[in-house]
Structure 1
Amino acid sequence: MAEQPARRRRTQSERREATQAAVLDTALEILATEGYVAFASSGVAARAGISRGALEHYYPRKIDLIAAACHHAIERSVAEAREAAASPDMAGDPVGTFLSASERFFFAPAYAAQIELLIAARADRALAGVIHPIVLDARRRLDDVWTEVLIRLGQEAAVARRYVDLSHVLMRGLYLAETWLPQGDEREKIIAQWRDASRALLASGL
């Protein structure tokens, strides 16, 4: 039997990055499932399996942890959008690929965490000062990914941007409706109807 190659030991930098990613994923999970009111650095540390002191070494304040978790979620979401936009499916079915990727983003735990923070930020100016720029940057970057690929596939720039904006408004509304006003399988039906209408809307120039 051939010997298995020895597994490479992770460097200190790699271990640190893995620990930080685990902490930030845990922070997002708590925000999404338990809300901002229940969010505390001590709870994140306990669930992530590290000491409070270790967590505070990376994120001294609760607001630092929240900001880092938001940036972490955004970078991952933008990377996933770029991967979907570059897939072979995009050329064959750009509307379907875009709407499927958008649905995954708006109905993922990271977006639920974002909504929790935006609601809390209405009464917390310090939180708003941190969260609002991050959310606006995420919206711009994600919109740009999809607008640019639709332009490459032949759409006029203004039409592509307007379509992406309208689609994301729809997804936000569906998320909020499904979260607070559950309506069974309405989301699937509405997205399918929007997908069918999209081709005619894009062809007509909106």
Structure 2
Amino acid sequence: MQASPPRRTQGARSEETQRRLLEATIALLLERGYTRLTTPDIARRAGVSRGALTHHFANKEDIVVRAVANQLERVTAGLRAFCDDCPPQQMNTDTVVDYLWSMMAKGLFYVTLEYLPEARANDQFRQQLLPVVQEFHAALDAIWTRLSDHYGVAPDEARISMNTTMCLFRGMIAQTVLREDPDYFRRMLDYWKTHLRTSLGGKRSKEKAA
């Protein structure tokens, strides 16, 4: 007789419930936006009761903050893995730009666009988000410092170049909301790749030649 699988612990079930709720929150933020987001809809999408949601999260703002934190942790882990796993000969500035654009444009910054207006007007919500976003930016700066070693530039120069890249992408992605023009955005990406190829990648090439 085949033995039945062991029952999950209460802690494991609780973690699974929270995971489903956080994933449902991000999905609904992308689909409906912050103002149309409701906790009953989140519970329904996650396939759990409203009571289960309120057991883990105090209110809408609380679950959004936790969902954003979870999303940013996963994005940061993915970026670290990209830097660790990418062969050195392929870690050129074009590859980094393509990865960052894909990371930002496939939902990450669209979610940000949803909660930013509320954070501007709701100080309590803003105060909850600040440490989450600051932790993400600190992790990014640490990754940019690692890239500085690869490109042979000062850490501060790499951080400025890559943070400028992220700010450029934020503006471009915001513009896609009202402008469907892939060629327009592709040409800007190509322009920026050329710039970084010279400012960062070019220095490594000169160093090798020397």
- The TM tier, using the shorter chain, reads 0.7 to 0.9
> Which residue number corresponds to residue 184 of structure 1?
182
Identity %: 26
Instruction: State which of 120, 124, 127 in structure 2 corresponds to 1:126.
Output: 124
> Which residue number corresponds to residue 41 of structure 1?
39
Higher mean C-alpha displacement, 21-30 vs 124-133: 124-133
Higher mean C-alpha displacement, 169-178 vs 133-142: 133-142
Q: Would the alpha carbon gap of residues 60 and 158 (structure 1) be closer, same or farther in structure 2, given more than 3 Å must change?
A: closer
Instruction: State which of 79, 83, 86 in structure 2 corresponds to 1:81.
Output: 79
Instruction: State which of 50, 53, 56 in structure 2 corresponds to 1:55.
Output: 53
Match of 1:160, as an amino acid? Answer: A
CA deviations on 1:154-175 (whole Å, 9 max, x unpaired) are: 2221221111112111111111
The whole-number CA distance in structure 1 between the counterparts of 2:15 and 2:64 is 17
Q: Is the 8 A contact 2:80 2:143 kept in 1?
A: yes
CA deviations on 1:66-118 (whole Å, 9 max, x unpaired) are: 11101111110110010111123454233123212211221132321122111
> Which residue number corresponds to residue 32 of structure 1?
30
Q: What SS does the corresponding residue of 2:34 show, helix, strand or coil?
A: coil
The whole-number CA distance in structure 1 between the counterparts of 2:170 and 2:193 is 16
The whole-number CA distance in structure 1 between the counterparts of 2:71 and 2:147 is 22
> Which residue number corresponds to residue 175 of structure 1?
173
Match of 1:76, as an amino acid? Answer: R
Higher mean C-alpha displacement, 52-61 vs 93-102: 93-102
Match of 2:130, as an amino acid? Answer: H
With normalisation by structure 1, the TM-score equals 0.86
Q: Would the alpha carbon gap of residues 146 and 90 (structure 1) be closer, same or farther in structure 2, given more than 3 Å must change?
A: farther
Higher mean C-alpha displacement, 171-180 vs 91-100: 91-100
Q: Is the 8 A contact 1:32 1:109 kept in 2?
A: yes
CA deviations on 1:95-145 (whole Å, 9 max, x unpaired) are: 123212211221132321122111122221221121233223212312321
> Which residue number corresponds to residue 208 of structure 2?
none
Higher mean C-alpha displacement, 49-58 vs 181-190: 181-190
Structure 1 unmatched ranges of 5 or more: none
> Which residue number corresponds to residue 152 of structure 2?
154
> Which residue number corresponds to residue 142 of structure 1?
140
CA-based RMSD of the aligned residues comes to 2.4
> Which residue number corresponds to residue 109 of structure 2?
111
Instruction: State which of 17, 20, 29 in structure 2 corresponds to 1:19.
Output: 17
Higher mean C-alpha displacement, 77-86 vs 57-66: 57-66
Q: Is the 8 A contact 1:32 1:112 kept in 2?
A: yes
CA deviations on 1:143-195 (whole Å, 9 max, x unpaired) are: 32133233244222122111111211111111111123332332222212211
The whole-number CA distance in structure 2 between the counterparts of 1:45 and 1:97 is 39
> Which residue number corresponds to residue 63 of structure 2?
65
Q: What SS does the corresponding residue of 1:23 show, helix, strand or coil?
A: helix
The whole-number CA distance in structure 2 between the counterparts of 1:36 and 1:139 is 23
Q: Would the alpha carbon gap of residues 7 and 194 (structure 1) be closer, same or farther in structure 2, given more than 3 Å must change?
A: farther
Q: What SS does the corresponding residue of 1:182 show, helix, strand or coil?
A: coil
The whole-number CA distance in structure 2 between the counterparts of 1:90 and 1:39 is 43
> Which residue number corresponds to residue 195 of structure 1?
193
Q: Number of aligned residue pairs: give it.
A: 202
